Amino acid sequence: MSEDRAPSAAFVRNAAGSLACESTELRALAERHGTPLYVYSAASFRGRYRRLGAACREHLAGLDPIVAYSVKACSSLGILKRLAAEGCGFDVVSGGELLRVARAGGDLGKTILAGVGKTDAELELALEAGVFQINVESAGELARLDAAAKRRRVRARAALRVNPAIDPKTHPHLATSAPTSKFGLELDDARGALAAPERFPNVEFVGLHLHLGSMLRDAHLWEEAFERIAPLLALFPGGSPKTLDVGGGIAIGVGSEPELAPEKWLTRIGPLLRRVGARPILEPGRWIAAPSGALLTRVLDVKNAGGRRIVVVDAAMNDLIRPALYGAVHPIELAARVERAPRAVDVVGPVCESGDFLGKNITLPDPQPGDLLAILDAGAYGFSMASTYNSRPRAAEVLVEKGGDVLLRRRETFDDVVRGELL
């Protein structure tokens, strides 16, 4: 892993050739906690957050930016607690995520409630908690927020999430600004709301919100989006919003494709934000979390099928759904260095679905039953999207920190899976 891609070097091989998280061998973690197992690096989470903060101080000095970590990327309370201690803000998309931030000691005054389908209960919870702002995604939601604020006898701080209707040049499931996307208001609808604020007397329009998509590598996309929202800026008091949420979505490195370095990204959008003069909000969930975590899994069986070498492991799509959901590619490595001939294999799980694969055509030293594999770049949208499909208990989560390891979440049991069900 290059310095540009993962400055904290979360997962590297030690002098003995064993893959380690920081200085702790993955084999030791698997023996201690079992598999499947999510492993996170505290140094990587902190290092990537601090790197982004340093880039903000350089390119957005004087604008007092908020780095609002997207909780949906990796929502473990232990991770949130450590980011909160760094002074991080949070981007939440449900009442449950808001409660997670509160329980982890996060600053609710630096927390933004987003999401396309907020319930009235979630709106009232956010108002009661005193979140920094609520990003509104439809005219109907705006009316419901106004009513909720009236019931609570407060004035809601709202930013309008607008859809600039541009092609974000990413996977369709990761695109949030395509013309037919479910996310955000069309520009004309946003213009109508801003031009008649008297219709929403219990709402203060404080800003705009853009989110173009995920795994974006072209910084020019934000320039195009800024051009499209420019006519809306003058509709705010004083000719400028107080806040401008430019989303996240900056890509990590995948294979030969480099990450979109935050320094490069901010070099391009920094002048645009300065021209607007609003307080910037950044949502770098995946960029912080993905390289900071890995999923460990044990090889159960190896077989041939139609000329393909199939490696069956004890992790599955219920543990990591990204490859099946949108063709995500994760580096996969053997945890131990072995002297075997390399060969192309498909890494699959035990779930009863043809789509249950974790990697296809992956070149590895010929895997054998009992081998430990590490699926890298799995810190974002890994455990947070896990399920108990096929009645499979969810994996444990472990954080490596200061030479030791901390259990963040115990492995579920079958009793956990059926808890809450009635006969």
Catalytic residues: 352
Tokens of 349: 């799980």
Place of tokens 């992790």: 315
Residue 271, CA distances (Å) to 221, 227, 260, 274, 286 in order:
14, 13, 18, 5, 24
Phi, psi at residue 134, to the nearest 5°? -115, 125
List the one residue out of 121, 169, 78 whose CA is nearest residue 399: 78
- CA–CA dist 275, 185 (Å, integer): 23
* 97/250 Cα distance (integer angstroms): 22
Cα–Cα distance, 45 to 43 (Å, whole number):
6
CA atoms within 13 A on the CB side of 22: 21
Q: Which helix (H) or strand (E) holds 392?
A: none
Distances (CA, A) of 274 to 191, 225, 261: 22, 15, 20
Nearest one of 156, 158, 242 to 193, comparing CA atoms: 158
Do the Cβ atoms of 97 and 74 come closer than 8 Å? no
Beta bridge partners of 397: 38, 409
Cα separation, 288 vs 84, in Å, equals 14
Beta-bridge partner residues of 399: 40, 406
